[in-house]
Amino acid sequence: MGPIQTAKDRCRKCYSCVRNCPVKAIKVKEHWAEVIHDRCIGCGICLKVCSQKAKQIADCITQTLRILENGKSPVAILGCSYPAFFSELRPGQLVAGLQKLGFADIFEGTAGVELIAGQYQQLIESGGRGPLISSHCPTIVDLIERHYPQLVRHLMPVVSPMVAIGRYIKHTRGAQTPVVYISSCIAGKFEVSAEEVAGAVDMVLTYRELSQIFRDRGLDPARMKDAPFSGRKPDRGRLFPISGGPFQAFDVHNDFLNTDFVSTGGEQGALELIRDLAAQRITPKWVDIRFCEGGCIGGPGKNNRLTNFSKRSLIIDAFHQRREIPYLPEEKECTAPFPSLLRSFTNKFERLENPSGESIRAILQATNKFIQEDELDCGACGYPTCREHAAAVYQGLADNQMCLPFSIKRLEEDRVILTQKYELAQRALAQEFGDSAIIGQDPRTGDVLKLIRQVGPTPTTVLIRGESGTGKELTARAIHQHSNRADKPLVTVNCTTLTDSLLESELFGHKRGSFTGAIADKKGLFEAANGGTIFLDEIGDITPKLQAELLRVLDSGEIKPVGGNRPTEVDVRLIAATNRNLEEGVEEGWFREDLFYRLNVFTITMPPLRNRIDSLPQLVHHFLASASKRLNKPIRGIEDRAIAALLRYHWPGNIRELQNIIERASVLTQDNIVRLENLPTVFSELSLEEPVAAGDSAKRQERGSLRGQREKHLRIVEKNLLKKYLEDAGGNVSKAARTASIPRRTFYRMLERHGLKGSAFKKTASPPSNSGP
């Protein structure tokens, strides 16, 4: 487990860390990008470029506070570059702040530079190891050990200044003394865990982390009096953190024309110099390399507003004012043997499997690179060439989505496909709901249209009530089209088709990991309808939990995704519909009273078709036109007998039932005219009843009652019995009347009422046979 970890729930897989990692030490997983610790050099670039803070380093603040609470006289070491990052404080004030936190003594890390100066001078003067590479930058050491093993033997076998001063303190104060090193170097956190230098320093804090501790404890060092440093007072070592500073600190005289001594800093300069050394294109005597730009002053600091030039000036100013920095009297030298300042380095290189040419071609073709001209080598993926990116894909360090031209082309293709699907969906919706006009000229339909025109332009919540199939959704669409939100989306949700948990996720959205199967964040329909209208059909069927959530949305205008903590504001007009009696629901406890009053601001009650039967002929012709378009079949009309039968029906399924019957009849017709025979059997029987005029609503209402329905079915039964008696009597009316025990005159009246005649039931004699004997 390495110091840099990935918070998987934060990673958005933006590839920023993969593209910017100088050694490609990040592996692309299914939903996140993970650090490969055996390749990582601890430069911290992935921490800097991750906008979602998914790349995180171990919590050193908590561990430091534990050290301070242990009461074992902990020692703090201020790194060489502290004057550049705490420019608003005097050194003594910074020491006072650290003492206030609980540190017993505060040392300057610059003293460690002068501890190793002698070792460096001896190695440089001997010059027997070829090009010598300074080993005080942990990132450079890891870079060479893990990626350029041919240069391991050129690393100067000397510990870094941090380890040197740490060993010095453990030597003089005791091995159990807790030591905390404070600097700008993230790689120092990696170095203290290395086996070769373990035990010298217990914890490494960055300047930013120290500032956070000051804030958390309510301490302001700028208001404190100066306190003195402890330990050895450094001198020219104070110049060490800036580029070229080690030449001064280690008393190496160099000039512009002397190629024996080379110094560089920054990612690009460091990598270029190491590549030249590995290829033996240059052979200097000593190279000083720091991975951070400008030297150790380029790391993450307390104040990033300062440039490297201003930080360099602060370091030099501190060097000139070094005699003013307060120090305790020099301690007596420890008589115990001084610990070694030497260290060794090892080859930690792990070779990745190289892909074959066939594998490279397959990966290139997967990203639409079939000929050499397709390999643009644009560098957008973070690799110099398409083939290097393909090799990284094979090794698991990258994936195809990082190829920008491929991703753009795929997005364009997806856009074309989605546009086509959108047009098809729009066409289907136009066929299904394109005509949002409510058909009908009866008084009740006129009242509904008047209410729609009144409430449409307002933001008022509307509750549509009525039986199933009366056109509640059509009414909601008409309200939306009459509103000021007509150019915004109308989202329709049927509350009876989803379970409680799924409906909550659909309405309000959810966060990734909030429940099993939630593999990604999802926006809810309320958020999708933002600025427009949402129509909740059958709202009387939602559970009390969802009723409470819906009430909160109506009251505050905010939604909270499932598993989320931050509410999101939405501007949505709500239209609800139900076929249930919500007043009874309030009394019986299955519907919230406060939600009922919140919904029941403006109510539109849709009349059933049996109460607006005067509009049936107009509805029939409208549905015939729709069926003709949907079926691609020219329907020319409907016969009067069929219309008459439709007028006599009770219509329990309302307009939806009428639409389905008309479409079925349109499918069955052979001559493009809907006839009585194309309708269900019940309409053939109804056609024999006494016709009712389209405007005779009183008589039609009487037929729609229980009594009317009972009489209708009794007439059907009576007619069928009369037919049976006539068939058994061979059409003889007198015989049929005797069999039925009914007076002959009464039997004749019943036949006349049902339009039956005895002659129609006479059995015809069989024709004589013409065959001979």
pLDDT per position as a tens digit, 450-503: 999 999 999 999 999 999 889 899 899 999 989 998 888 888 888 887 777 788
Please give the helix or strand (H or E) that residue 92 lies within, else none.
Answer: helix 91-101
Question: Can you tell me whether residue 512 is helix, strand or coil?
Answer: coil
Does residue 290 contact residue 296 with C-beta atoms inside 8 Å? Answer: yes
Report the pLDDT value the prediction gives residue 770, as an integer from 0 to 100: 42
Pairing of strands 33-35, 26-28: antiparallel
Under the banding of pLDDT at 50, 70 and 90, the label for residue 697 is: low
How far is the C-alpha of 558 from the C-alpha of 567, rounded, in Å? 6
CB 133 within 8 A of CB 120: no
Q: CA torsion, points 510, 512, 516, 517, in degrees to nearest 10?
A: 90
Beta carbons of 124 and 132 less than 8 angstroms apart: yes
Looking at residue 336, its pLDDT comes to 57
pLDDT for residue 771 is more than 50: no
Which strand (E) or helix (H) includes residue 693?
none
Mean pLDDT, residues 292-317 taken together = 80
Which of the two residues, 382 and 657, has the higher pLDDT score?
Answer: 657
Q: Which residues pair with 491 in a beta bridge?
A: 534
87-133 residue pLDDT tens: 889 999 999 999 999 999 999 999 999 899 888 888 888 866 678 99
Cβ contact 721:754 at 8 Å: no
> Tokens at residue 179, please?
């030591």
* pLDDT value of residue 710: 62
pLDDT at position 337, please? 63
Number of C-beta neighbours around residue 598 at 10 A: 17
- Between residues 9 and 654, the one the model is more confident about: 654
Phi, psi (deg, nearest 5) at residue 32:
-155, 170
Do 97 and 103 meet the contact criterion of CB atoms below 8 Å apart?
Answer: no
Q: Are 559 and 506 in contact (CB under 8 A)?
A: no
Cα–Cα distance for residue pair 688/677, rounded to 1 Å: 13
**What is residue 518's predicted lDDT score, i.e. its pLDDT?**
73
Band of pLDDT at residue 765, cut at 50, 70 and 90: very low
Give yes or no for residue 303 having a pLDDT over 90. Answer: no
Q: What is the pLDDT, as a whole number, of residue 664? A: 92
Report d(CA 461, CA 603) in Å as an integer: 9
pLDDT at 306: 81
Average pLDDT over residues 676-685: 84
Q: What is the pLDDT of residue 766?
A: 44
- Taking only the tens place, the pLDDT of each residue in 51-83 is 888 888 877 888 889 888 887 889 999 999 899
| pLDDT for 25 | 86
Q: Which helix (H) or strand (E) holds 547?
A: helix 544-556
| pLDDT tens digit sequence for 202-214 | 889 989 889 999 9
Going by C-alpha positions, the residue among 298, 235, 234 that lies closest to residue 265 is: 298
616-632 residue pLDDT tens? 999 999 999 888 888 88
pTM attached to this predicted model:
0.58
Q: Which of 564, 641, 555 is nearest to 598 (CA)?
A: 555
Q: Tell me the HSE value of 265 on the side-chain side, using a 13 A CA sphere.
A: 19
CB 226 within 8 A of CB 326: yes
Percentage of the chain lying above the pLDDT 90 cut: 24
